[in-house]
Amino acid sequence: METEVFSTEFWQAFAPEMVLVVGLVLLFIIPNLGEAKFRVPLTKVRIPWLFGGRRFKSTGSPALPGMLGTATLFVALGMMVIETIDGGLSTTTVTSGDVTLLQIDAFSRFFEIIFLAAILMASMASLDRVPAHTFKGNKSLEEMYDNRRQADLYILMLTTALGMCMVALSQDLFVLFVGLELASLATYILVAFHKESKAGAESGVKYFIVGSVASGIGLYGLSLLYLEFGSLQLSTLSANWADGSILATIALGLVLVGFGFKVSAAPFHFAAPDAYAGANSPIAGVLATASKAMGMIGLIRILLVIALPDTGTDGSAIWIYTLATLSVVTMTWGNIAALGSTNPKRMLAYSSVAHAGYMMAALTAVGAWHWGHVEAPADYAEAIVAAILFHLFVLVAFKLGAFLVLGLLEMEGGASRLSALSGLARRDPLIGTSMFIFMLALAGVPPLAGFMSKFLVIASIVSTSVGDQWVNGSISFSDLHWVWWLALAMFINSAISVFYYLRIGVVMFLDIPEEGRRKPLPYGASIRMAIWICLVATIILGLSADTLIDMCYRAAESLKLA
Amino acid sequence: MSESGIIDYAVLIPLLPMLAFPVILFLGKMFNGTPTWVKNVKEGGIIALTVMGASLLLALLVIKEHMHHVGTANIFTWFESSWWNPETGAITTKVFGVGVYIDHLTVMLLFVAAFLCFLINIFSIGYMNTDPINDNRNHRFYAEFVLFCSGMLGMVLADSFLWLFIFWELMGLCSYLLIGFYYERPSAAYAAKKAFLTTRVGDVFLVIGLIMLWNLFQPYAGTQGALSYAVVFDPANIAKVNPGDLQIALGMMFIGAVGKSAQFPLHVWLPDAMEGPTPVSALIHAATMVNAGLYLVARMFPFFSGAELGALSTLAIVIACIGGITAVMAALIAFVQMDLKKVLAYSTMSQLAYIFTGLGSALWFANNGYEELAAFAMGASLFHLFNHAMAKGMLFMASGSVIHEMHHAHHEVAHHGHDDDHGDDHDDHHDDHFDAQSMENMGGLASRMPITATAMFFGSMSIIGIPLIGGFWSKEGIISSAWQVARKEPVFLLPAMLVLIGAGMTGFYMSRMWFMTFAGKPKTEVAEKVHEQTAWIPIPLVILTFMTLGAFILAGMHAGHWLGDFNNGHYSNFFDGIGYELEHVFMNHDMFLFILTYVAIGLSLILGPSLAMSLYGGSLDDGQKAKPWMQWAISLSAKVNSKSNFDNSAWANSSLSESLHKRLHFDDIYDAAMLKIVVGFANLSAIFDSKVIDGVIKTIESTSQEVSRRVRSLTTGSARDYIMMATLGTLVIFMLLWGVA
Amino acid sequence: MIDPAWVSGLAAILFIIGLWGAFSRKNAIVVLMCIELMLNAVNLQFVAAASHWGDVTGWVYAVFAIAIAAGEVAIGLAIFLSMYGQHETISLDEVNLLKN
Amino acid sequence: MLVGGLLVVVAGLMAFFPSLGDSDTTVDWISIPLVGFPIIISAILLAFASQESRSRKEILAAPIRLFTLCASLIPLAISTALFFDWLIMVDWDLMYNEYALQKEYLWIESIGVSWHVGMDGLSFPMVWLTTFLVPVTIIMTWNEKDGATYHPLLLMMGGALIGVFVALDLFLFYVFWELTLIPMFFLILKWGGKDRRYAAQKFFIYTFCASVIMLLGLITLYFLQPEGNGSQYGTVTGRTFDMTVLFSNASAYNMGDNVFLGKDMQYVLFAMLMIGFLVKLPAVPFHTWLPDAHVQAPTGGSMLLAGVMLKMGAYGMLRIPIAIFPDALIFYQDIIMAIGLISLVWGAVVCLGQTNLKRMVAYSSVSHMGVILLGIASMQPIGYAAALFMMFAHGIISPMLFAVCGAFKHHYHSMEIGSMRGMARWSPFLAVYMMFAWMASLGLPLLAGFVAELMVLIAYWPEYGWWILLPGFVLAITAAYYLWSMQRTIFEGGDEGQPPESLNGETPPDITLSENIGMIILAIFTVIFGIFPFIALGMMDEWTVAFFEGVFKKGGI
C-alpha cells in the first residue's frame, strides 16, 4: 500500500509512532501546566493561560513524567506487537512525490519492537534508578527542579525511540541519517545525564565527540553517494550500484564508519566502554541493545540492500574482506579486552563489542552469496538476516537484563567494580541467579536465548559456506567457502568469552559482600519487574524460539534481498 | 559334553567357601568379642572348618568318581560377546562360559588343596585362637582363609584358562590380605605389597599370554570364547595354530607361573611372605598357592604333545633352566638363613624349582615325541608336587608349632621376670626383641616337642629325598628325567647338573634346620621352657606325618605313572608295583641312570646331612630323651659333630655368604629399580603433567590476561585518540576495499 | 557557473581539515568547530551535487544537515559546559578518568 | 514415605501427560519421568530453598534431602522396571538405529529440532547407571552442609545427565550436554575445597571450549546432509537434527562409491566432534581439568563427575562420530589408539607420583578412560562391548573410589597419602571399603572392572600386537600405585597407629551410617556386575553386533 504523507492511511499506519509523538508533546506540556494567567493587554482581565507560573500540584509531580513516558512507550509497543502478532501488518509505503520516505513492513516493525522494548525496559528501570523524590511541605522549587529533570529524562528517551523508529522505517538514506542523528543527539544527553558526576560528564563528552565525528564521516559518505548516484533512495541506489564508480566505494567505506560507530565495531568502539561506564546502567543497556540495533539497520541497508551484487552475477560483494576483517578484529578485540576488565560495566561494553563482531561476521557471510561455486539460494541470505535479527532481539533480554541488574546495584552506590557484585547471590538469590542466567546466556550456554541466537548466527554462516552443494554428492573440506572460518573464529571467541562471564558468576556466588553492601538490595519494584521480564524472555526465547524465529524470517523476507 | 552326576555338584567345592567369606566377615563384625563367638565358634574357625570339611568331602566324592575319566560340566554363561572377521564380515558370538573340568591333574591338585586346606584350618584354630595378638580379628583371618581356599579349589576345577586366571587372581588377593594380616607392622604391609606386585608382574604376562592364546585359537573355537580346555587342548586345533606364536604365548603364560611359584627372577616375594600370621599364611604360600604356577605349566602339556615336533622345545628348555637355577639359588640362600620359616620358604622355592625342571623335561619329551618318557617325567613332577605339598605343609605347621610354643614359653619367661601387673604383659611382649622364629634361640627341642619334632623329622627327610620316604620317589624321577633329556639335548645339561647339585644342597640345609632346632642343647632359656599345649596343632601334624611316610604306598600304586597318564597303572598289584618301582630306582638296567641314582642318593643322603651334622649336630640336654626314631639321628649328629667339628668361619665371612645374607641382592636391586627408576619417573611425570601439560593451559590463561591488559591500554581515555583510531580504521577500510576493487 | 567538481574538491579538503583538527586539537571547543567544519563540507558537497544533478533534493538535504549541525552545537556546548563544571577544564586530554 | 508415595503418583501421571493429544498413545516413559521430573523437581526445590534464610535452610535441609532422595528413587524404579519388563514389555533386542521407547515431539520446527528421545543398548545402561548413582550419591553425602540446595543440585545433575543419554536429536543432545555443566559448576563452586574458584572455572571453561568446537562440527554436519521433507526436517532449513535420520542417511551413503561426504570432510568433522568428546573423556593431553575439578569438588560432585559425566565423552563418541563417519574412524584408528595408550600409560604413571589421594584417583580415571579409546580403536565388537562395559563398570567403581576419598577427607581432614598410618585401626569400615574400591579399580577378577579390561585386551591384540605390553605395564603400575597408597594409609603405624596431624590428636572416627550404606550398595553392585556381567553385557553385545552390522559391515571394510 502506498500512501502520501499526512493522508488518512498515513495516520492509521503510523499510529504507534504517533503515540510516541503525542506522548512527547504531552511531556513537554503537562509539567508546565500552572496557574499562569494571561492578562489581556491594557485590561485587568486575566485569562487563565495554564502554561507556566506556579505549577499545579498534580501535574507538577516529579513522578508524573516517568509514568507518562513509560505508559507511552508501553502503549506504542503494545500496538506494534498486537499489529505484528495479529498479522494485520501490511507493507505501507509513504511517498512524497517520487521520493519514497518511509515504509512499514515486517522488517521495520521488528526493529521498532526491539527499540521500544529496550527503551521501555530502561524507562521502567529508570523509575527506580533515577527516582522521583517526594517533597513534603513547601518546597515547590526543588520539586520543580526534580520534575524538570524527570521530564527531561523521559523526553530524551521518547526522542531516542522516535529517532530509532525513523531509522527503521526510512527508505531513504538521508532520512535514515536524520533519524539516526535524532536518536544520537538524544542519547548523547542521556549518557551525560549524570552531569553532577565527573564520570557522567566525561562519558558524555567522549561519546558526543567521537559520535559526532563518526556521523560527520558518515554524512560525508552520504553526500558522496548522492554525488555519484543523484539520489539517496534505497531503491535507486540498489538498482544502480553495479554501475557505480570508485567514488561509490569510497562512499561505502565512509558510511560504514558512520554505522560502525553505532554498532561499536572495532576500531570505532573506543568511546563505547567509556560511555557505558559513565552512563546510568539502564541507559548503557539501551546503548548496547537498541543503539546497536539501529547501527545494524544501517549496515543491513547499506551492505545488503544496496551494495550486494545482483543475482546471476558471479562474485561476492566488494566489502566482503573488509567486513570479515572488521568482524574478526571486533569480536577478538572485544573479548580479549573484556577478559581482564574488572569493571562489570566496561566488561559488558566490551562483550557488546564482541557481539557486534559476531553479527558482522554473519553479515559477511551474506557477501559470499554468489561466490563462485557457492550457489546459495536467496533464503540463505534471509537466514542470516533472520539470525541477526534474532540476536538483536534476544540481546534486549539478557544484555539489557544484565545492565538492569547493575542498575539495581547502582541504586546503592556504584557498580563500577567487580566487587560490587560479590555475594550478590547471597544477598538476593533471585537477582543473583538472574544475573548468572544473563551471563550464561551471553556466553551462549543452552538452552537459553543467548545460545539460540549464537547458534542461529553460526548456523547461518555455516549454511552459506556450505551452499547447496549437497547435490554435487561428496563434498570435500576445501569446497567450503572461507566464511566457514568466521564461524570457527566466532566459536573460539565465545569460548574465550565464557571466562569473563563465568567470573561474574563466581564472584556473585562465592565472594563475601564488600563493606557497606551487607544489607539486602534496595527494592525497586519496577526495575525488578523489568529484570524479571528480561529473565523470563531469556529462558522462554531459548526454550521455544520457534515463534520468534518465524517473526525474524518474515522480517528478513520483507527486505526482499533476492 | 556335559554329564550328570556328582560333577554337577563340583561347583560347590569352591562355592561353599566363597559364600562363607561374607558370612564369617559379617558374623564376626556382629558378634565380635561375645563369649559364644570366641569359645564355641572359635571366632569363625568352626564355620570355616565346617565349610572346608564339606568341600573336602565333596572333593573326595568327585575324585572317586573321576579317577579315570575326564569330567566336564557347564555352570553358566558368564557373558557373550562378538567377534568380527574383517575379511568375511562375519560376526560370531563368542560365549564366555564357566564350567568344571576334571582330569587326573585336577583330581590330584583338588585333593592336595582340599585336604591341606582342611588340615590347615584345624591347625589355625589351634594356632590363631590362642595368640592374644589375634584377639578380635580372627574372623577376618578365617574369612580371608576360606576365600583363599575357594580360589585354589576354583582354579583347579576351572574348565578354561580364563577362569583359571580369575581364581588365580583371587588367590593373589587373599595372599595379599593374609600376608598383610598384621597390618600395623610395616614389614607385613611391605611384604604384602611386594607379594602382590611381584606376582602381578607375572600375571600381566599371563594375561598377555592368555590373550595371545585366545587369538590363536579364536578362528577354530566357534562360539567358544573362554579359552576353554575343550578347545585349546583339541589336537586338531593345536595342529592348526602357528607353533612359533604358540610358543611365545605359552612362554608368556610361563612367566605368570614363575611369578606365582616364586621362581627366579620373580622369587623375591616368597621369603617376605612369611610376615603373615605364623605359620598359616606361610603354609598357604608354601604348600598350596605356589602350586598354582606348577599346575598352570602342567596344564600346558597337551600343547607340547600336540604341536609340531620340536617346535616348542625351546620353551621346555627355558622352563627347566629356570627351575634349575632357582633350585640352586634358593638352596644357597637357605644355607645362611637363621629364621626357621625363611629356611622353609627357600626350601619351598627350591623344591618348586625341581618340579619345574621335571615339568620342563616332561614337556621337552612330549614335544619331541617321546611319549612314555614324557609321561614318566610328568608323573614324577606331579608326584613330587604332591609329596612336597604334604611334607612342606607338615613342616610349616611344625615350624608354626615351634614358634607358637616358643612364643608361649617366652611369654612365660618374660612374665616371670617381671613383677608388675598382669594386664600389660601383652604389650611388653612386643617391646623386647626376642625373635621366636630364629633358630639361634632354639635347640634341643626334640624331646620337648616330640610330635612336632617327629613331623619335622620325616618332613625334612621327605624333602631331602631320603630313600623310601615321600619325596624320594619323585625326586629321583625328576633328576633322572632331566638327565635323560640331557642325553638327547645337551643344553639340558645345565638344569640337569643344577638339580643334581641341588639334591645335595637340600640335604644340607634341611638337616641344618632340623639339627639346629631340635638337636643339641637349648640355646636360650626360653627354649628350655617349651612344651606342646593345644590339641588342635598336633592333629594335622600326625595326619601329615603318615601321609608323608605313606608315599611309598602311593608310589607302589604307580601314582607317578597314573599322574603322567591316567590310563596307566591303576589296577596293578601293589606289591608288584612297589617291586617294579624299587627295581627301577635302585637297579636300573640303564647304567647311566643307575649311576645317577646313586650319585643323587649319595649327595642328598650322605654329603648334605653329614656336613650339617658336623656343623650343627649335638646331643640333647642330659636327661632329655627324644623319641627313638629321632634319637639315633641326634646321637649320630653328636658323634659326627664331635669327630669333625671343622671351622667354617672362612666361609661364613666370605663375600658370597654376605651376599647370600642379602639374598643375592635381588631385593635391593628390585627395590632400587622400583623406587629410583619407576617412582622417580612417576614423580617426574607428575611434575611434567602439572608444569608442562597443565602449564600450557595456565600460560594461555596468564598470557590472555596480559594481552587483555595491553589491548585495554589502547583505550587511553582521551577522546582525541579515539578519533585518531577511528580515522586510522577508516583508512584501513579504504585499503581493504581497494584491495578488492 | 563553477564546475561542481571544484566544489567537491573544496568539500573534500574541508572535510579532511576538519577530521585532522578533530584529533589533533585538545580544546573541546576547537574540536567542536572542526566537527562543524566537517558538516559544512557535507553541506557543500550536497549543494554541489544538487547542482550537478539539477535536483532540488540535495538542497533540502543541505538544509537538514545545517539543522543537524546546529543541534549538535547546542548539545555539544551544553555537554562541554557540564564537563567544565565538573573537571574545570575543556582540554580533552585532561579528561581521562575513564579508560582501559 | 508419604512424600515418596505421592511422588510416585505424580511421576506416573506425568508419564502419561505428554501422550495426551498425541496420536501415538504409548506412554512416554522417558521425557518426563526420567528427564523432566528430576530437573523440574530440583529446580522447584532450589528456587524454594534459595529464598530461605540461612537458619531456615538448616531446618529445611532434612525434609528437602528426604524429598530429594524419594524423588531420585523414582527414576531408578522406572529404569529398573523398564529393564526387567515390569512396567511394559520392552524389546531391547534392537537392530541398528532402532530405539526402544522412542518419543518425538516437535520443538523448533523451523530448523528441524525435535524433542526426540529413546534408548538402546548403548544408552540404557548409562541411563540406569545414572538413575542408580543419584540416590546412592545422595545417601552417601547425607550430611553434607547446606543440604537444602546440595541434594537438589545432585538430582538436577542426574536429570541432565540422563537427558544426554536419551537424546536422539543432536540439538537436544547438545543442550543437555551443556546443561550438565551448570549443576556441576555450582557443586564445585559452593561445596568445593580451597581452590574451588579456580577449579570450577577451569572445569567449566575447558569443557565448554571443547564442546563449542564440537558444536561447530555438528552444525556443519547439519548443513551437509541432504535436504528432505518430513516432520523432522526444518521448515526453513530443510535439514534435520534428528540423529536417527542422520544415521540412516549416513549408513545409506557410507562406505560405498556413493559417498556421503568427501573423505577429508569426514576427517575434519570427525576430528571436530572428537575434540569435544576427548576433552570430556578426558584423554591426555586434554585431561588437566579433571584432577583439579576432582580434588576440589565435594564428594557427591566427584562421584557423579567420575561416575557418569566422563562417560558422556565415550558415549558421544560411540553415538555420533563413529556412526556417521566410519571411514574417518578407520583413518584415525591409529591415532585414537595412540591417544588411548598415552592416556592409559600417562594416567597410571602420573598416579604413581601423586601424593594427594583424590588426585591419584582422578588420574586413575584418566587411565581407565584410555581403555575405552583402546576398545574403540580395536574395531571389534568385543572391543566396543568392552568400552561400553568399561563405562558402566567404571561408573560404579569410580564413585566408590571418590566416596572413599570423600569419607577420608571428611573424617581425617587430610588428603595426603602418607600423612597417617594404620587407618584400619580406627576406621576398619573405611579401610575395608578403600581396599575394596582400590582392588576393584585395579581390575581384580570377579569385580566389575576386570571383564572390560580383559575384553579390551582381547580385541586389542589382533590389531596392535605387541603394543599390548604397554597396557600390561599399566596393569602392573596400577597395582603399584594402589597398593603403595594403601600401604601408606591403611597399613603400618605400629600398635599405636599414627593419626594425621590434621586431627590435632583427636581419635579419628569411623565412617557414618549413611556413608556406610552408600558404599555398601556400591560394593554390592560392583560384585554383582563382576560375577554376573551378562546382566549388562547382553544388551551391550547386542548393540555392538547391530552397530557393526549397520555401520561397518555395509562397506565390508
What pLDDT digit, counting tens, does each position of D300-334 carry? 999 999 999 999 999 999 999 988 888 888 889 99
**pLDDT tens digits, one per residue of B563-605:** 766 665 554 566 666 777 777 777 777 788 888 888 888 888 8
Chain C residue numbers with beta carbons less than 8 Å from the beta carbon of B718 are: 92-93, 95-96
Query: Over chain C, what HEC string results?
Result: CCCHHHHHHHHHHHHHHHHHHHHHCCEHHHHHHHHHHHHHHHHHHHHHHHHHHCCCHHHHHHHHHHHHHHHHHHHHHHHHHHHHHHHCCCEHHHCCCCCC
Contact D457 B207 (CB under 8 A): yes
Q: What average pLDDT is seen over chain A? A: 87
B464/B395 Cα distance (integer angstroms): 12
D447-497 pLDDT per residue, tens: 998 998 989 998 888 888 888 889 888 888 898 889 888 888 888 877 777
Picking from B261, B194, B166, the residue whose alpha carbon sits closest to that of residue D480 is B194
Q: Dihedral sign for Cα B100, B101, B104, B108, please.
A: negative
CB atoms B726 and A214 under 8 Å: yes
Quote the minimal CA–CA distance from A21 to chain C in Å. 19
Binary contact (A227, C28; C-beta < 8 A): no
- Sign of dihedral through CA atoms A242, A244, A246, A249? negative
Chains that touch A (3 or more CB pairs under 8 A): B, C, D
Give me the mean pLDDT over the A443-463 stretch: 89
User: DSSP letter string over D426-475?
Assistant: H-HHHHHHHHHHHHHHTT-TTSHHHHHHHHHHHHHHHHHGGGGHHHHHHH
Answer with the residue of higher pLDDT: D96 or B208.
B208
Average pLDDT over residues B694-715: 89
Q: How many domains does chain C have?
A: 1
Within 247-306 of D, beta carbons closer than 8 Å to B belong to 284-285, 287-289, 292
To test the contact with chain C by mutation, choose from B723, B725, B730, B731 the residue with the greatest count of C C-beta atoms within 10 A, namely: B723
* Separation of alpha carbons B581 and B563, rounded Å: 15
Which residue reads 585366545 in cell numbers? Answer: B214
pLDDT in tens, D127-156: 999 999 999 999 999 888 888 889 999 999
Total CB pairs under 8 A between chain A and C: 129
Q: How many whole angstroms separate alpha carbon D382 and alpha carbon D372?
A: 12
Contact B307, B315 (CB under 8 A): no
pLDDT of A374 above 60: no
Identify the CA nearest to B262 among candidates B250, B247, B274.
Answer: B274
Q: Is residue A477 part of a domain?
A: yes
User: Does a cis peptide bond (omega within 30 degrees of 0) precede residue D282?
Assistant: yes
SS3 B467: coil
Residues of B with a Cβ under 8 Å from any A Cβ are: 704-705, 707-709, 711-712, 714-715, 717, 719, 721-723, 725-726, 728-730, 732-734, 736-741
How close are the terminal C-alpha atoms of chain C, in Å? 53
What is the band of B430 on the pLDDT scale with cuts at 50, 70, 90?
A: very low
- Give per-residue pLDDT as tens, B613-640: 888 877 777 777 777 778 888 888 888 8
Q: Pick from D391, D381, D392, D389: which is nearest to D545 by CA?
A: D381
- Going B515 to B521 to B526 to B527, the CA torsion angle's sign is positive
Q: Nearest by CB to A226, which of C35, C46, C98?
A: C46
Which DSSP symbol is given to A172? B
Does B717 touch chain D if contact means CB atoms closer than 8 Å? Answer: no
Helices (H), A170-197: 173-191
Contacts of C38 by beta carbon, 8 Å cutoff, 6+ apart: A213, A216, A217, A219, A220, C14, C15, C18, C19, C22
The answer to whether position C5 is within a domain reads: no
| Contact residues on chain B for D382, CB-CB shorter than 8 A | 81-83, 94
Report the share of chain B in percent with pLDDT over 90: 5
- Domain ranges in chain D are 2-552
Domain around A123: 2-133+140-557
| A107-119 tens-digit pLDDT | 999 999 999 999 9
Question: Residue B548 corresponds to which amino acid?
Answer: T
- Nearest CA distance, B738 vs chain C (angstrom): 19
Q: Test B91 with D381 for CB contact under 8 angstroms.
A: yes
Range of the domain at C78: 26-93
Is C62 in contact with C47 (CB distance < 8 Å)? yes
Unique residue bearing C-alpha cell 555455516:
A462
Does residue A562 lie in a domain region?
no
Parts of chain D with a pLDDT under 70: 1-25, 253-260, 553-557
What's the one-letter identity of residue D52?
E
Contact D178 A445 (CB under 8 A): yes
Report pLDDT digits (tens) over D374-388.
999 988 889 999 999
Residue C4 lies in a domain: no
d(CA D372, CA D389): 9
Measure B689 CA to nearest chain C CA, in Å. Answer: 36
Average pLDDT in the A32-45 region? 82
User: DSSP character for B132?
Assistant: G
Residues β-bridged to residue A51 = A33
Q: Which pLDDT value is given to residue D437?
A: 93
Q: Is residue A361 part of a domain?
A: yes
Helix axes A173-191, A246-262, angle to 10 degrees: 30
Q: Which residue of C has its CA nearest to B723?
A: C23
Cβ atoms of B356 and B294 within 8 Å: the answer is: yes
The one-character DSSP state at D239 is: -
Give chain C's radius of gyration (CA, Å).
17
Please report residues of B whose CB lies closer than 8 A to that of A260: 729
Q: Are A292 and A352 in contact (CB under 8 A)?
A: yes
Nearest to A67 by CA among A136, A126, A13, A22: A126
pLDDT of residue D19: 44
Q: How far apart are the first and last CA of chain D?
A: 57
pLDDT of residue B429: 43
| Residues of chain C above pLDDT 70, percent | 99
The cell numbers describing D397, all together, are 567403581
* CA–CA gap between residue D169 and residue D171 (Å, rounded): 5
CB D110 within 8 A of CB D267: no
Q: Could you tell me if residue C49 is inside a domain?
A: yes
What ipTM goes with this model? 0.89
* DSSP structure string for A119-157: HHHHHHHHHHHTTPPP--SS-HHHHHHHHHHHHHHHHHH
D502 touches chain A (CB under 8 A): no
Chain B neighbors of A318, CB-CB under 8 A: 737, 740-741
Question: What are A24's three cell numbers?
Answer: 512527547
Contacts of B89 in chain D (CB under 8 A): 553, 556
How many domains in chain A?
1
| Cβ–Cβ under 8 Å, residues B351 and B384 | yes
For residue D394, the model assigns a pLDDT of 93
Give B83's strand partners.
Answer: B92
Residues in chain C with CB shorter than 8 Å from the CB of A200 are 86
pLDDT at B159 over 70: yes
| Count of residues in chain A | 562
Write the DSSP assignment of B375-438 as a string of letters: HHHHHHHHHHHHHHHHHHHHHHHHHHHHHHHHHHHHHHHHHHH--S-STTHHHHHHHS---TTB
- Give the number of other CB atoms < 10 A from CB of residue B690: 18
Is the confidence at residue A403, as pLDDT, over 90? Answer: yes
Has residue A6 been placed in a domain?
yes
The pairing of beta strand A92-96 with beta strand A2-4: parallel
Q: How close, in Å, is residue C20 to chain B by CA atoms?
A: 9
The pLDDT confidence band at residue B737, using thresholds 50, 70 and 90, is: confident
Of B44, A510, B151, A483, nearest in space to D296 by CA: A510
Q: Where are the beta strands (DSSP E) in D27-72?
A: none
CATH code: domain of residue C86: 1.10.287.3510
Q: How far is CA A413 from CA A193, A274, A506, in A?
A: 16, 18, 22
Beta carbons of A189 and C75 less than 8 Å apart: yes
